[in-house]
Structure 1
Amino acid sequence: MVKLATVPVSQVAGIGAQKVKELESFGIRSVLDLLEYFPFRYEDYRLRELSEVKDGEKVTVAGTIYSEAVYQRYGKKSRTSCRVMIDSTLVTAVWFNRPYLKDKLTPGIEIQLTGKWDMKRLQVTVSESEFPGNGGPAQSGTVQPVYSVGGTLTQKWMRKSITQALKQFGEIIEEVIPEFIMKSNHFMPRKEAIRIIHTPADTAEGKQARRRLVYEELFLFQLKLQAFRTLNRSRADGLVHGYDNEELRAFIQSLPFELTEAQKKVIAEIIRDLRQPYCMNRLLQGDVGAGKTIVAAVALFAAVKSGYQGALMVPTEILAEQHSRSLQKLFEPFGVQVGLLTGSVTAARRRDTLASLQMGLIDIIIGTHALIQEDVYYRNLGLVVTDEQHRFGVNQRSILRRKGMNPDVLTMTATPIPRTLAISAFGDMDVSTIRELPKGRKPIETYWVKHDKLERVLTFIRKEVSQGRQAYVICPLIEESDKLEYQNTLDVHAQMQHAFPDLKVGLLHGRMPSGEKDETMRLFSTGETHLLVSTTVIEVGVDVPNATLMVIYDAERFGLSQLHQLRGRVGRGAHQSYCILMADPKSEVGKERMKVMTETNDGFEIARRDLELRGPGDFFGTKQSGIPDFRLADLSVDFEVLEQARDDTAELVAQEDFWTAAPYVALRHYLQREQIFQGELMD
């Protein structure tokens, strides 16, 4: 059997050396690449009657030319028109910048037009036209694929070349999906699906072929994840944490508040993992303020009491310092030593910390990516906790993990991930979810106002501060930019000082020296600063229970998940809290974001809507998220297919036959090529 992945695309008749070069720039090198270069939509050239067509719709119609063509020039541009009788209606057909058609438009001959229908003017603005029986392109009456093309690769050439490749090689396309899955899902064979997706009889047939091929794409991706999980579970080379149950219970009872039922449930899941001989690889997701840090603290305590060290990596220095202070307070009575390592720690203190860490005098180290630098050594790293995982690249996470001998891994995120993305990006992980907020939390009231209502916003800030509360004002930029007209932090800080001369107004942004940032946050945390003007540096984890008002300038500049994160900085105390979004969005997406934010406080619902608006590639704000670039699958619409593929592959790899029997040898080779058997934890 010929492996089409190894047959060069030059073997397709009609594809010469120049075209081979151009195809390579589109990632097409083999015949298989060409056959798997799927269309992203279809043009429907099937003939319709005008009575069925809505105003402004694209349509293909047939008629007879009724009048002589009229040709007009406007500088370098031109307009050609004539009257055409269609379904006993006389309509005007208009072509722009196609003067050569004037002599072909002869009264009495048949013509087929594709273009936009203007019902009021009885006019078709023509994009394509044919003269049946006169050697025109044979596409009327058909559904034609539309490909991503460029250079000298035209739609017509691409269609012709793929049709030729199907003719030459279509019969030797190999099946990928096991027979029992094909039958249970009523899938068409692979070679038929590939032929139909390129040459469908109608759009419904094209959709059927797409569904089959989308499933295949998601099946192969899920197969990697499920095989990895199975192999990881069968390798008993993880750490077994033998902590004392009574000691752990005493630590939980010493916490300054009662855990929610959701927190207790996920702690039980994590603790169970720590006792197992395989490496824990768990994602803990929960809404803003759901209490994930306390869950991590319990896990770190269990690791330390089992004789191991723990590391907590967070994205910002402010957050690292905050966690260091709060966790030190919790752990101190139990003799657990906490260290801090960030980029701005002094050289002398850094040397001491590194030495203590290597000797095992520090039990838990908290820090930024400074934790993964080459000269950082651990005596006995047993648990790695990464907070806000999507802020770190794949490499950063795996470097930290390699600092120990198969340590357990707990990954946390306050960007709740839609189920679809959790399955695809973190399919090799177990997922724990906290959906319950701590008792006494009141929903944050959110309002959207235009910038011309600034005076009313200032009045509201004054009202909150007069009641002893504090407020944040967030801006997208640090200083003025000629390119962007958005409010900048320095200007807004000056504006707030002018509006509130009797109040203490703080300023916080990413370019300030670390010591200044700390002092600014300290003054705000202790209530000495009434109002803090800041960039999104306070987005993650900063906790000031007395802050009850969040004002966000140019809110349309931010994604939904980021707006939700920012809003989560308030509402952490007993008082009613508010979020005011100041925005004049020009785009529909911007308006939709404002609408969503004012309608719900549920981070999971916001994440779902964010996925719809932004698409999976940008959901995490980083291309290193672990989400693959699929050829066909779209995770915002193909979630049911994804779940089906996940269930089918989990069932498949659980069978002993899969790892030994002949029918699955091709899939095992695929896993080998993807290096699933290398033993490295996946990111």
Structure 2
Amino acid sequence: MKLKCLVRSRIDVKHPLQQSITTLQGVGEERASDLSLLGVRTISDLLQYFPYKHEDRRIRDLTEVGHEEKVTIEGQIHSEPAVRFYGRKKSRMTVRVLVDNRYLVTCILFNRHFAKKQFTIGKTAFFTGKLDKHRMQLTVQDYSFQPKRQPDAEQDAGGIVPVYTVGEHVSTKFLHKLIEQALQKYQDHIVEILPNALIQKYKLMERRNAIKAIHLPQDMDEFKLAKRRMIYEEFFLFQLKMHALRRTKREQIEGVAHQIDTEQIQHFLSSLPYKLTNAQQNALQDITKDMTSTSAMNRLLQGDVGSGKTAVAAIALYASNTAGCQGAIMVPTEILAEQHYQSMQSFFKDTSVQIALLTGSSKAKERREILAGLQMGLIDIVIGTHALIQDTVVFSKLGLVVIDEQHRFGVEQRRKLRQKGTSPDVLFMTATPIPRTLAITAFGDMDVSVIDELPAGRKRIETYWVKPDMFDRALDFIRKELAAGRQAYFICPLIEESEKLDVQNAIDVHAQLTQALPQFKVALLHGRLHSDEKETVMREFSQNEAQLLVSTTVVEVGVNVPNATLMIVQDADRFGLSQLHQLRGRVGRGEHQSYCILIADPKSEIGMERMRIMKETSDGFELAQQDLELRGPGDFFGTKQSGLPEFVFGDMIHDYRILEIARDDAAKLVQSDAFWQEQIYPQLLEYLVHEGVLDSETLD
């Protein structure tokens, strides 16, 4: 019987947790409609509608509470509440409470004057809010006349209280009661999803107990154990899905099984003017192993600025050539394409490899010759821009595709280049160092190789942080470097003046520097220039026709101007660490000592910390990790829409060890034939079907 059909037959059986929410007491059609807006339609949905945080409302001794700290107090009403009205329907009620017969705390409640009669002298009440310890004044967020949990021998009143996202017509109180009711009736129907061997190995709480403890924790220790279990489950299921997708879909695609001539590769390596670093050798080993496999390669090669990714790509292209295949390199700009073309010509000058450059600027005759050469197999490697994905470009036998700065191309553009061959191997390259924690999550469907070692002999870029009032000194340094025949970049965060942000802008700075440095040509580059204008400006700068380039962050990653030795960044505290490191990497590419000057007057702790880290750290991966910790995974790529999964319990930064363990466990399980053939973990297979992973007919 087909695996997919067999699994579906199990899912189609009506499970108690799949019943409608209306089976619970107090939920009619109207309530069900309100709950459906929260995504809660079944008992299972309700039990997995987890709180977004927990508040510790255990009663504490006020001597242990800090100023402005959130706290829950228990006390007796000491005096009649006083109410003062202001504006329409706005009020402030003051209630004085005696705590432990020692402290008189003034509780402030806004817009709750209707409850005045509830606060009678001598009555016990529980208040939660932020305490101004200097005035002994509590701004009340919540109050009750009952503890949140009935106190027992081991637990203080107040307890650990879950906080849920609720809708306009669904109150927290109603949701709490509904979840308690569902747990009483259905907790025993919650099925374990993790393999028992993993539960025993890591001493994890059972799923049914963990779900109850997340909603109704008895104490903080129980909650921590439950959360640990749910973090592992989240990470494990996500990684299981990624590895299953790789096995059932990507690895079923037959790629080009390159018959690489290892002797020729060794001869080529020995002809290079330098020895590969250990990191380069490891990355090359990963790539050639993929290339000789029958499955199509889908690998990301990430390396710091100047780490030698291009050399590794060149060797991989040569390996493909020895197997009788063609190679293609696609880059985002013509300037970068020309630089790659020159690099490849240098790499292959002593070989018979035929290289061509194809861009939008290629002359008609030259273009016709290149297209004919590719189709007849006379050209071995072509370097180009988007021009490579046009319909007129036809290859004889495309074996390897290299896409540089892959994030600059859309999914459709990458797909079109792949379709130029019969499932060619694809190598993506990026100079943005991505922390391992983020890479194994964001690129779960890719293999990742890292070059985290710089070639010997590279000079460290000296980095300085100066405040805006030292601009004249920075200007003197620019003048000195340019007079010595060097070139410099000056980066600004905005193009034009902004009323919202008090920052220097590129247009004003260009005018200012043109006037201050009349003996040098100062060029201007920003995002509103037409692509042809950008190309012209960058070409002038790369050929030293312009000595100083004032630019926004559109300065191309990968642009190589060895004569540029100075990078100045205005308002540097407004950039992330990874972005600052990328900008710094534009210099330090030649024989002369290079410098980076960060002009900033940071008023925030994060801004100060960034400047300190930039001065002390030159390792891109270490910077990327610290950037991730400062900004969070959602903002790491400069945008919230980075395609990263949103975990309910897990934090990719703080829980990275659990993430890596879960990834290894999931990979081991998916690679096991027993997992697929013997169906020893039916719940996991059901999960994969539900997620659409097993929709591929290649499994049947």
Among 37, 55, 61, the residue aligned to 2:49: 37
Residue 327 of structure 1 is matched in structure 2 by 344
Conserved? CA contact 1:4–1:173, under 8 Å:
no
Q: 1:133 to 1:386 in 2, by over 3 A?
A: closer
Output one character per residue of 1:204-260: Cα deviation in whole Å (capped at 9) or x when no partner. Answer: 322211211121111112223334555689759332222433433443344454433
Letter in 1 for 2:43: V
Are the structure 2 counterparts of residues 563 and 376 from structure 1 closer, same or farther at C-alpha, using a change threshold of 3 Å? same
* Correspondence 1:292 to 2:309: yes
**1-side partners of 2:166 and 2:580: how far apart?**
37
| Of 80, 98, 122, the match for 2:112 | 98
Among 336, 340, 344, the alignment partner of 2:353 is: 336
Partner SS for 2:593: coil
Query: 1:79–1:97: 8 Å Cα contact kept in structure 2?
Result: yes
The whole-number CA distance in structure 1 between the counterparts of 2:626 and 2:455 is 25
2: CA distance, partners of 1:424 / 1:17:
40
Cα separation, partners in 2 of 1:358 and 1:603, compared to 1, 3 Å: same
- Displacement of 1:350 in angstroms is 5.5
On the 8 A contact 1:393/1:625 being kept in 2, the answer is no
Task: State the partner residue of 2:437.
Answer: 420
Q: Tell me, in whole angstroms, the C-alpha distance in 2 between the residues paired with 1:412 and 1:481.
A: 35
Please state if 1:544 is matched with 2:558. Answer: no
Partner-residue secondary structure (3-state), 1:536: coil
User: Contact 1:393 / 1:624 at 8 angstroms: preserved in 2?
Assistant: no
Kept in 1, the 8 Å contact 2:160–2:217? The answer is: yes
Aligned counterpart, 2:91: 78
**Is 1:174–2:191 an aligned residue pair?**
yes
Distance in structure 2 (CA, Å) of the matches to 1:14 and 1:346: 76
Residue matched to 1:3 = 15
Q: CA deviation at 1:168?
A: 3.5
Task: Spell out the pairing of 1:108-507 with structure 2 (5 A cutoff).
Answer: 108-132=122-146, 141-229=158-246, 237-342=254-359, 353-373=370-390, 376-507=393-524
- 1:85-120 per-residue CA deviation (whole Å, 9 max, x = no partner) reads 211222322222322233333322222222222222
1:557-576 → structure 2 map (5 Å cutoff): 557-576=574-593
In structure 2, relative to structure 1, the CA distance for the partners of 1:43 and 1:358 (3 Å cut) is same
Distance between the aligned counterparts of 2:498 and 2:370, measured in 1?
Answer: 41
Distance 1:563 1:620 in 2: 13
- The answer on whether the counterparts of 1:42 and 1:203 sit within 8 Å (CA) in structure 2 is no
Q: Partner residue of 2:550?
A: 533
1:280 maps to amino acid: M
Structure 1 position 66 matched with structure 2 position 78: yes
TM-score by length of 2: 0.89
Stretch of structure 1 that moved more, 414-423 or 477-486:
477-486
Any conservation in 1 of the 2:67–2:132 contact (CA below 8 Å)?
yes
Supply the distance in 2 between the matched residues of 1:663 and 1:656 (Cα, whole angstroms): 11
How far apart in 1 are the matches of 2:572 and 2:282?
36
Tell me, in whole angstroms, the C-alpha distance in 2 between the residues paired with 1:65 and 1:677.
Answer: 62
Cα separation, 1, equivalents of 2:499 and 2:192: 57
CA drift of 1:128 comes to 2.0
Residue of structure 1 equivalent to 2:10: none
Aligned partner of residue 300 in structure 1, secondary structure: helix
Which amino acid in the other structure matches residue 430 of structure 2? Answer: T
- For residue 51 of structure 1, the aligned residue among 35, 51, 63 is 63
CA positional deviation for 1:507: 1.8
Distance change in 2, residues 1:513/1:65 (3 Å): closer
Q: How many aligned residue pairs are there?
A: 680
Residues 1:668 and 2:678 aligned together: no
Deviation string, structure 1 residues 321-342 (Cα, Å, up to 9, x no partner): 3212322343354343333444
CA distance in structure 1 between the partners assigned to 2:20 and 2:341 by the alignment? 58
Offset of 1:678 from its aligned partner? Answer: 6.5
Supply the distance in 2 between the matched residues of 1:133 and 1:220 (Cα, whole angstroms): 37
Question: Which segment is superposed worse, 99-108 or 437-446?
Answer: 99-108
- Return the letter of the residue paired with 2:448: V
Question: 1:200 Cα shift?
Answer: 0.9
Cα distance, 1:177 vs. partner?
0.5
The CA distance in 1 between the partners of 2:433 and 2:354, in whole Å, is 32
Q: Where does structure 2 lack aligned partners over 5 or more consecutive residues?
A: 1-12, 151-155
Pair 624,104 (structure 1): closer, same or farther in 2 beyond 3 Å: closer
Match of 2:661 in 1: 644
User: For 1:423 and 1:64, how far apart are their aligned partners in 2?
Assistant: 54
CA contact (8 A) 1:539 1:566 kept: no
Unaligned runs of 5+ in 1: none
- Matched-pair contact (CA < 8 Å) for 2:127–2:140: yes
Please tell me the residue identity of whatever aligns with 1:184. K
- State the distance in 2 between where 1:211 and 1:594 align: 35
CA contact (8 A) 1:219 1:646 kept: yes
Q: Secondary structure at the match of 1:153?
A: coil
Distance 1:125 1:224, change over 3 A: closer
CA-to-partner distance for each residue in 1:256-291, whole Å, 9 max, x for gaps? 544334323322332333233333333222111101
Cα distance, 1:642 vs structure 2: 1.1
Tell me, in whole angstroms, the C-alpha distance in 2 between the residues paired with 1:262 and 1:113: 59
Equivalent pairs: percent with the same residue?
55
Q: CA deviation at 1:610?
A: 1.6
Paired position in structure 1 for 2:5: none
2:8 paired residue number: none
Distance 1:100 1:511, change over 3 A: closer
Corresponding residue SS for 2:429: strand
Instruction: Provide the C-alpha distance between the structure 1 equivalents of 2:415 and 2:398, rounded to a whole number of angstroms.
Output: 14
Q: Which amino acid aligns with 2:132?
A: D
The whole-number CA distance in structure 1 between the counterparts of 2:525 and 2:331 is 19
Contact 2:251 2:296 in 1 (8 A): no
Would the alpha carbon gap of residues 616 and 396 (structure 1) be closer, same or farther in structure 2, given more than 3 Å must change? farther
Contact 1:60 1:140 in 2 (8 A): no
Structure 1 residues 606-645: aligned runs within 5 Å? 606-621=623-638, 627-645=644-662
Say if 2:334 and 2:535, in contact at 8 Å, map to a contact too. Answer: no
C-alpha spacing 1:226/1:195, structure 2 compared with 1 (3 Å): same
User: Deviations along 1:164-213, whole A, 9 cap, x unmatched?
Assistant: 33234322112111111111111121111111111111233222112111
Q: What is the Cα-based RMSD across aligned positions, in Å?
A: 3.1
> Which residue among 536, 547, 550 is the counterpart of 1:519?
536
Q: TM-score, normalised by structure 1?
A: 0.91
Identify the match of residue 508 of structure 1 among 498, 515, 525.
525
Alignment check: 8 A CA contact 2:147 2:157 kept: no
Quickly say closer, same or farther: Cα 1:326–1:408, change in 2 above 3 A: same
Tell me which of 601, 609, 621 is aligned to 1:604: 621
